[in-house]
Structure 1
Amino acid sequence: MNEVTIGITNRESINSRFMAVFDTGQKQSQFIGFESEEMLWKTLTLKRWQLLKAMTGAGELSIREVARRVDRDVKAVHGDITTLLHCGLLDKANSGKVIFPYDAVHVDFMLRAA
Protein backbone atom coordinates (compact mmCIF):
# COMPACT_ATOMS: atom_id res chain seq x y z
CA MET A 1 0.00 0.00 0.00
CA ASN A 2 1.28 3.43 -0.95
CA GLU A 3 0.72 5.56 2.17
CA VAL A 4 1.63 9.13 3.06
CA THR A 5 1.89 10.63 6.51
CA ILE A 6 0.95 14.27 6.93
CA GLY A 7 2.25 15.97 10.04
CA ILE A 8 3.93 18.84 11.78
CA THR A 9 7.66 19.14 11.31
CA ASN A 10 10.60 21.41 11.92
CA ARG A 11 14.13 21.72 10.55
CA GLU A 12 15.51 19.35 13.21
CA SER A 13 13.00 16.65 12.31
CA ILE A 14 13.67 17.04 8.59
CA ASN A 15 17.42 16.76 9.19
CA SER A 16 16.88 13.67 11.33
CA ARG A 17 14.83 11.97 8.60
CA PHE A 18 17.46 12.85 6.02
CA MET A 19 20.32 11.54 8.16
CA ALA A 20 18.46 8.29 8.86
CA VAL A 21 18.29 7.65 5.12
CA PHE A 22 21.89 8.75 4.63
CA ASP A 23 23.20 6.56 7.47
CA THR A 24 21.16 3.42 6.86
CA GLY A 25 20.36 3.61 3.18
CA GLN A 26 16.84 2.51 4.02
CA LYS A 27 13.94 4.26 2.37
CA GLN A 28 11.77 6.35 4.69
CA SER A 29 8.01 6.40 4.43
CA GLN A 30 6.41 9.24 2.49
CA PHE A 31 5.97 12.33 4.67
CA ILE A 32 4.54 15.77 3.97
CA GLY A 33 5.21 18.24 6.75
CA PHE A 34 3.74 21.55 7.81
CA GLU A 35 5.52 23.93 10.15
CA SER A 36 2.56 24.28 12.53
CA GLU A 37 -0.88 22.90 13.29
CA GLU A 38 -2.31 26.20 12.13
CA MET A 39 -0.69 25.88 8.70
CA LEU A 40 -1.86 22.27 8.38
CA TRP A 41 -5.49 23.14 9.12
CA LYS A 42 -5.35 26.34 7.05
CA THR A 43 -4.13 24.36 4.05
CA LEU A 44 -6.15 21.18 4.54
CA THR A 45 -9.65 22.59 4.84
CA LEU A 46 -12.69 20.33 4.95
CA LYS A 47 -13.35 20.84 1.23
CA ARG A 48 -9.74 19.98 0.37
CA TRP A 49 -9.95 16.84 2.53
CA GLN A 50 -13.03 15.89 0.51
CA LEU A 51 -11.00 16.29 -2.68
CA LEU A 52 -8.26 14.05 -1.32
CA LYS A 53 -10.81 11.46 -0.25
CA ALA A 54 -12.40 11.44 -3.70
CA MET A 55 -8.98 11.15 -5.36
CA THR A 56 -7.42 8.50 -3.09
CA GLY A 57 -6.51 5.49 -5.20
CA ALA A 58 -8.37 6.89 -8.24
CA GLY A 59 -5.38 7.48 -10.53
CA GLU A 60 -5.17 10.45 -12.89
CA LEU A 61 -8.26 12.66 -12.95
CA SER A 62 -9.21 15.84 -14.75
CA ILE A 63 -10.18 18.78 -12.56
CA ARG A 64 -13.66 18.58 -14.06
CA GLU A 65 -13.93 14.93 -12.99
CA VAL A 66 -12.77 15.76 -9.46
CA ALA A 67 -15.37 18.54 -9.28
CA ARG A 68 -18.05 16.09 -10.45
CA ARG A 69 -17.05 13.53 -7.81
CA VAL A 70 -17.36 16.06 -4.98
CA ASP A 71 -20.34 17.91 -6.52
CA ARG A 72 -18.63 21.31 -6.52
CA ASP A 73 -17.98 24.15 -8.94
CA VAL A 74 -15.04 23.50 -11.28
CA LYS A 75 -13.49 26.93 -10.66
CA ALA A 76 -13.54 26.46 -6.86
CA VAL A 77 -12.10 22.95 -7.18
CA HIS A 78 -9.38 24.31 -9.48
CA GLY A 79 -8.32 26.77 -6.78
CA ASP A 80 -8.20 24.05 -4.13
CA ILE A 81 -6.26 21.71 -6.41
CA THR A 82 -3.74 24.48 -7.11
CA THR A 83 -3.16 24.85 -3.36
CA LEU A 84 -2.75 21.07 -2.95
CA LEU A 85 -0.29 20.98 -5.87
CA HIS A 86 1.78 23.77 -4.27
CA CYS A 87 2.07 21.97 -0.93
CA GLY A 88 3.06 18.67 -2.56
CA LEU A 89 -0.02 16.61 -1.83
CA LEU A 90 -1.07 16.34 -5.47
CA ASP A 91 1.01 15.79 -8.58
CA LYS A 92 0.38 16.89 -12.14
CA ALA A 93 0.61 14.03 -14.65
CA ASN A 94 2.15 14.39 -18.11
CA SER A 95 -1.40 14.19 -19.47
CA GLY A 96 -2.25 17.44 -17.66
CA LYS A 97 -4.52 15.63 -15.23
CA VAL A 98 -3.94 15.62 -11.49
CA ILE A 99 -3.21 12.65 -9.28
CA PHE A 100 -3.16 11.94 -5.57
CA PRO A 101 -0.54 9.19 -5.74
CA TYR A 102 -1.44 7.49 -2.47
CA ASP A 103 -3.85 4.78 -1.41
CA ALA A 104 -3.99 5.91 2.21
CA VAL A 105 -3.33 8.98 4.35
CA HIS A 106 -2.16 9.07 7.95
CA VAL A 107 -2.25 12.36 9.87
CA ASP A 108 0.18 12.58 12.77
CA PHE A 109 0.71 15.42 15.23
CA MET A 110 0.64 15.88 18.97
CA LEU A 111 -1.16 18.59 20.89
CA ARG A 112 0.83 19.77 23.91
CA ALA A 113 0.12 22.17 26.72
CA ALA A 114 1.15 25.72 25.85
Structure 2
Amino acid sequence: MNTLIIRLGTRDDVKARFVEAGERAARGESVEATPSLNFASYDDMHRILAPSRLAIVKVLAGQGPLSIREVARRVSRDVQAVHRDVTMLINTGVIDRTEKGVEFPYDRIHFEFDVSAAA
Protein backbone atom coordinates (compact mmCIF):
# COMPACT_ATOMS: atom_id res chain seq x y z
CA MET A 1 0.00 0.00 0.00
CA ASN A 2 1.30 3.44 -0.95
CA THR A 3 1.25 5.59 2.21
CA LEU A 4 2.08 9.22 3.01
CA ILE A 5 3.44 9.64 6.53
CA ILE A 6 2.57 12.86 8.38
CA ARG A 7 4.98 13.81 11.16
CA LEU A 8 5.33 16.61 13.67
CA GLY A 9 8.85 17.77 14.32
CA THR A 10 11.45 20.45 14.06
CA ARG A 11 13.97 20.95 11.28
CA ASP A 12 16.50 19.34 13.61
CA ASP A 13 14.31 16.20 13.76
CA VAL A 14 14.16 16.05 9.96
CA LYS A 15 17.89 16.63 9.70
CA ALA A 16 18.59 13.88 12.25
CA ARG A 17 16.51 11.36 10.23
CA PHE A 18 18.34 12.40 7.06
CA VAL A 19 21.79 12.06 8.69
CA GLU A 20 20.85 8.68 10.17
CA ALA A 21 19.72 7.41 6.76
CA GLY A 22 22.98 8.65 5.22
CA GLU A 23 25.03 6.86 7.88
CA ARG A 24 23.11 3.61 7.33
CA ALA A 25 23.61 3.89 3.57
CA ALA A 26 27.35 4.51 4.09
CA ARG A 27 27.51 1.26 6.10
CA GLY A 28 25.86 -0.53 3.18
CA GLU A 29 22.54 -1.01 4.95
CA SER A 30 19.28 -0.77 3.04
CA VAL A 31 17.61 2.63 3.22
CA GLU A 32 14.05 3.14 1.97
CA ALA A 33 12.76 6.53 0.98
CA THR A 34 9.42 7.00 2.70
CA PRO A 35 7.08 9.69 1.39
CA SER A 36 6.46 12.04 4.29
CA LEU A 37 5.27 15.50 5.13
CA ASN A 38 6.58 17.26 8.22
CA PHE A 39 4.85 19.98 10.21
CA ALA A 40 6.53 22.07 12.89
CA SER A 41 3.53 21.88 15.20
CA TYR A 42 0.11 20.33 15.63
CA ASP A 43 -1.44 23.75 14.98
CA ASP A 44 0.38 24.01 11.63
CA MET A 45 -0.76 20.53 10.67
CA HIS A 46 -4.35 21.21 11.71
CA ARG A 47 -4.39 24.52 9.80
CA ILE A 48 -3.41 22.70 6.57
CA LEU A 49 -5.27 19.44 7.20
CA ALA A 50 -8.42 20.90 8.73
CA PRO A 51 -11.38 18.50 8.62
CA SER A 52 -12.79 19.96 5.39
CA ARG A 53 -9.41 19.66 3.63
CA LEU A 54 -8.80 16.19 5.02
CA ALA A 55 -12.17 15.18 3.54
CA ILE A 56 -10.85 16.26 0.14
CA VAL A 57 -7.71 14.19 0.61
CA LYS A 58 -9.80 11.16 1.62
CA VAL A 59 -11.94 11.52 -1.52
CA LEU A 60 -8.82 11.68 -3.68
CA ALA A 61 -6.96 8.78 -2.01
CA GLY A 62 -6.36 6.02 -4.52
CA GLN A 63 -8.76 7.52 -7.11
CA GLY A 64 -6.37 8.98 -9.66
CA PRO A 65 -6.90 12.50 -11.01
CA LEU A 66 -10.31 14.13 -10.48
CA SER A 67 -11.64 17.52 -11.53
CA ILE A 68 -12.24 20.06 -8.79
CA ARG A 69 -15.92 20.02 -9.72
CA GLU A 70 -16.02 16.24 -9.14
CA VAL A 71 -14.19 16.60 -5.82
CA ALA A 72 -16.73 19.25 -4.76
CA ARG A 73 -19.58 16.93 -5.71
CA ARG A 74 -18.08 14.05 -3.72
CA VAL A 75 -17.58 16.13 -0.58
CA SER A 76 -20.93 17.93 -1.02
CA ARG A 77 -19.40 21.41 -0.95
CA ASP A 78 -19.36 24.56 -3.07
CA VAL A 79 -16.88 24.43 -5.99
CA GLN A 80 -15.27 27.77 -5.08
CA ALA A 81 -14.64 26.70 -1.48
CA VAL A 82 -13.21 23.37 -2.63
CA HIS A 83 -11.02 25.22 -5.16
CA ARG A 84 -9.57 27.37 -2.34
CA ASP A 85 -8.89 24.28 -0.21
CA VAL A 86 -7.40 22.36 -3.15
CA THR A 87 -5.09 25.31 -3.89
CA MET A 88 -3.90 25.29 -0.26
CA LEU A 89 -3.30 21.52 -0.41
CA ILE A 90 -1.36 21.85 -3.67
CA ASN A 91 0.75 24.74 -2.37
CA THR A 92 1.71 22.77 0.75
CA GLY A 93 2.59 19.62 -1.19
CA VAL A 94 -0.24 17.43 0.08
CA ILE A 95 -1.87 16.86 -3.32
CA ASP A 96 -0.71 17.28 -6.93
CA ARG A 97 -2.17 19.06 -9.94
CA THR A 98 -1.94 17.09 -13.20
CA GLU A 99 -3.19 17.67 -16.73
CA LYS A 100 -6.21 15.50 -15.88
CA GLY A 101 -7.11 17.16 -12.57
CA VAL A 102 -5.94 16.99 -8.97
CA GLU A 103 -4.78 13.86 -7.23
CA PHE A 104 -3.48 12.46 -3.99
CA PRO A 105 -0.97 9.90 -5.26
CA TYR A 106 -1.25 7.71 -2.16
CA ASP A 107 -3.75 5.16 -0.93
CA ARG A 108 -3.70 6.38 2.65
CA ILE A 109 -2.17 8.72 5.24
CA HIS A 110 -0.44 7.56 8.40
CA PHE A 111 -0.14 10.15 11.19
CA GLU A 112 2.99 9.58 13.26
CA PHE A 113 3.22 11.80 16.33
CA ASP A 114 2.66 11.91 20.07
CA VAL A 115 0.40 14.28 21.97
CA SER A 116 1.48 15.06 25.53
CA ALA A 117 -0.16 16.87 28.40
CA ALA A 118 0.55 20.59 28.64
CA ALA A 119 3.29 21.54 31.05
TM-score (norm 1): 0.91
Instruction: Give the partner amino acid of 2:17.
Output: R
Contact 2:66 2:100 in 1 (8 A): no
Bigger Cα Rg: 2
1:75 aligns with 80
SS in 2 for 1:29: coil
Q: Deviations over 1:16-35 (max 9, x none)?
A: 22123322341232110111
Q: Does 1:43 align with 2:86?
A: no
Instruction: Give the partner amino acid of 2:32.
Output: K
SS in 1 for 2:64: coil
Between Structure 1 and Structure 2, how many residues are aligned? Answer: 113
TM-score (norm 2): 0.87
Moved over 6 A (4+): none
Instruction: Give the partner amino acid of 1:5.
Output: I
Task: Give the alignment's Cα RMSD to 1 decimal.
Answer: 1.3
Q: Which runs of 5+ in 2 are unaligned?
A: 26-30
Q: Which runs of 5+ in 1 are unaligned?
A: none
